[in-house]
Every structure is written in C-alpha cells, then in structure tokens.
Structure 1
Amino acid sequence: MQQMDLTPHPANPPAGDWQVRFSWQPTEHWLTLRWRVSGVGALAIPPLAGRGRADGLWEATCFELFVQHGEGPAYAEFNLSPSERWAGYDFTGYRAGMRQRKLPRAPVCSWRAGSAFSLFDAAIPLGGLPELPAAFGASAVIEETDGTKSYWALTHASDKPDFHDPACFTARLAAPLPP
C-alpha cells in the first residue's frame, strides 16, 4: 500500500494531539483505503448505523476521497463514515452540477478503535470510480468529544478548509495491475 500523511488545516487545528495517515491500494476489483488515526485526545465517532447511502456525513467524523480523471473539471467525491454509511457524488466542475454517483456495489466501511491508534478501512468498487489513472485528494473530518472539528488533507490550498479545491488533488491513483 502507498502511504501519505494528512495535515490539519491551520485555521481549524485539533484540540488533541493527532496524526492521520492515509494509505491506498488498487486491486483487481476494489480500491482499498485506510486512514490511521493516532494520538492523544477523545474522538467522537458516529454510532453504527449499518450500510447505506446517506448525506451530510461530513458533519461528523468522516473520511473522504476526491477523484478526478483527465484534464477536465469533473470529479467524484466519496464520503465514508465509521457508522458504515457512505455517499458518492459526481460534480461537473468545482462544487457545480452535483448528483448522486452510481456504484455497482456499495462501498465497505469498517472502524476499529484501539488504545494506541484507530483504523478506518474502506473499499470502493473500481467500477464505481472515474477512469484510472486519475488525480485524487484524500481527506478527513475529525470530530472530538468536546465538539472541536479539524479538517485534514494531503494539502490545503486556501485560507479555509476546502476539500473540493482541485489544487488539493495532488496524489495519483494508477490503474490496477492485471492479476
């Protein structure tokens, strides 16, 4: 798996001392994702709600992926929650033309809390992604029990958190290797 560290937006720092590491691996049928959250503090984790599509997941602890194929402005957004809820959207341009993204299967989400760190694993069916290779941005909204929310990304391009900014799509997602 390839790995990168996410950084909190300076305008919205966490109350606790957190680190967030993101890793990914395309396989034959899935894009597997992992966010590793470690540090000191108390996370607010949404209660288990079972698999299903839901809007507004970014309002609580949530993990996100933005994928853009080619040079055009269109991109896809995936919101993945420890509650097992998920959302997928297509945009025709920067925050424009939003509509539900069709996926051949629902993403799989799994939260595992530990004493030293917690893991959020997700898998998105490759058939639900824009064509690969593609540029992407990984991000996370981390909510703490005191209500503090921090916004984590591979990079931050403006003075306020904005995961939709194409300047944040700094990583490359290669097409999977044949089996």
Structure 2
Amino acid sequence: MQLVFHPAHLPLAVRSLEARIIGFDADWLRARWKIMGAGSLVVPPFAGKGRADGLWQTTCFELFLQPGGGPQYTEINLSPSERWNVYDFESRRKGVTERPMPREPRCAARLGTDMAIFDAAIPTAGLPAAPWRCGFTAVIEESGGHKSYWSLVHGSDAPDFHDPACFIAEVAAPSGA
C-alpha cells in the first residue's frame, strides 16, 4: 500500500514509501516498509532491544490496529534502533496503557544508496484478535532534522496518526489460527 506524506511536511529526498503485511499466522504478524529516495534518511543507531517511549521523535514505523466496531485501538511503534512499544487506547488518544507482549517484536533495517527496507515481526499472541481496520504510518527524518509524516491518508491540517479515518486497510484473521 502506498503511503502519502502530509502536505504540511514535505519530504526532502524521499520519493515514496510503501507498507504492507508480508505474513500473518498464529505466531507472527510480519510487516514491511519500503522507502525510495532514502539517501539522506536518518536511521537511529542500535539502542538494544526493549521498550521505549518517544520513538516517533526520529525515523520510526507504526501500525494501528482497530478490532471490531468500537473506538479501542492498539498502536505499535517500531524503530530501526530495535526499540519498540505497544500501547492500547480506549478511544482516540485517551485511556492509554502499555500492552503486555509475550515476547519482543523483531526489527531489521536494510539500507542501500537509494532504497531502505524496514521489516518487523510482531508476536500475534500479543495483539488484539483480528480482523482489524489497520493504519500504516511512518515518521521519516532526513538530514538536518527534517521530518515528514506518512500515512495511508491524512484527514486534518496537522499530521494525526491516531485519527480513525487513517485506519483504512482491512486485515482478516491470521492463517493457521
């Protein structure tokens, strides 16, 4: 799925960003983000595995999962530094708690001169039951601290990945479950 940058925060060199689920079974949800024009991409250095807050302050990748028809949703933050976090929200930006995870997500970044790929594997047992409405997002930092905000859609004058209007991808229950 093609992500679009927020028009108030234009990228410098990044030309496109795609995101998709590349596998989903009873053990893992695997997602991939592909960046074209990644020559000036700022990639946070390895920081050791583990939970961390504020990952969105530099290049990071996010998934929003909204099961059923209610206002609840789960936010998954993944960094090339291999730091991560998962939050549950009762409704838009309200009632946030850290979601327990049975094991850590796995993250890997591959960088080329013009293309970068970020892969993540998230333990299915730590996620809400599918099916979901899903939002793929990314904060992309380029040289000089310049940031652009990417999502499937943007619904307001300022980037807001928590806007339920951004959760437009439909994801069925995993295979083999």
SS of the equivalent of 1:146 reads helix
Unaligned runs of 5+ in 1: none
From 148, 151, 166, the equivalent of 2:149 is 151
Partner of 1:85: 83
TM-score when normalising by structure 1:
0.95
SS of the equivalent of 2:53 reads coil
Does the CA-based 8 Å contact 1:62-1:142 persist in structure 2? Answer: yes
Q: Which amino acid aligns with 1:156?
A: H
Q: Distance in 1 between matches of 2:141 and 2:63?
A: 18
Task: Give a deviation string over 1:12-47, Cα, whole Å, max 9, x none.
Answer: 111114211111021231000000111164011111
Number of aligned positions between the proteins? 176
Q: Distance in 2 between matches of 1:132 and 1:68?
A: 9
Q: Structure 1 residue 18 and structure 2 residue 15: aligned?
A: yes
| CA-atom RMSD in angstroms | 1.1
From 49, 52, 71, the equivalent of 1:51 is 49
Q: Distance in 2 between matches of 1:146 and 1:134?
A: 37
Unaligned runs of 5+ in 2: none
Partner of 1:119: 117
Q: Which amino acid aligns with 1:56?
A: G
Q: Distance in 1 between matches of 2:16 and 2:135?
A: 17
Q: Structure 1 residue 165 and structure 2 residue 159: aligned?
A: no
Partner of 1:102: 100
Q: Which amino acid aligns with 1:22?
A: A
Comparing 19-28 with 83-92, greater Cα deviation is found at 19-28
SS of the equivalent of 2:144 reads coil
Task: Give a deviation string over 1:54-94, Cα, whole Å, max 9, x none.
Answer: 00000000000000001110100010000000011000000
Q: Distance in 1 between matches of 2:155 and 2:172?
A: 23
Q: Distance in 2 between matches of 1:28 and 1:101?
A: 18
Does the CA-based 8 Å contact 2:39-2:113 persist in structure 1? Answer: no
Q: Distance in 2 between matches of 1:151 and 1:112?
A: 20
Q: Which amino acid aligns with 1:43?
A: L
Comparing 11-20 with 49-58, greater Cα deviation is found at 11-20
TM-score when normalising by structure 2:
0.96
Percent identical pairs in the alignment equals 53
SS of the equivalent of 1:167 reads helix
4+ residue runs over 2 A deviation? none
Q: Distance in 2 between matches of 1:18 and 1:84?
A: 25
Q: Which amino acid aligns with 1:154?
A: L
- Structure 1 residue 115: deviation in Å? 2.0
| Residues 124-139 of structure 1: pairs in structure 2 closer than 5 A | 124-139=122-137
Q: Distance in 2 between matches of 1:54 and 1:108?
A: 14
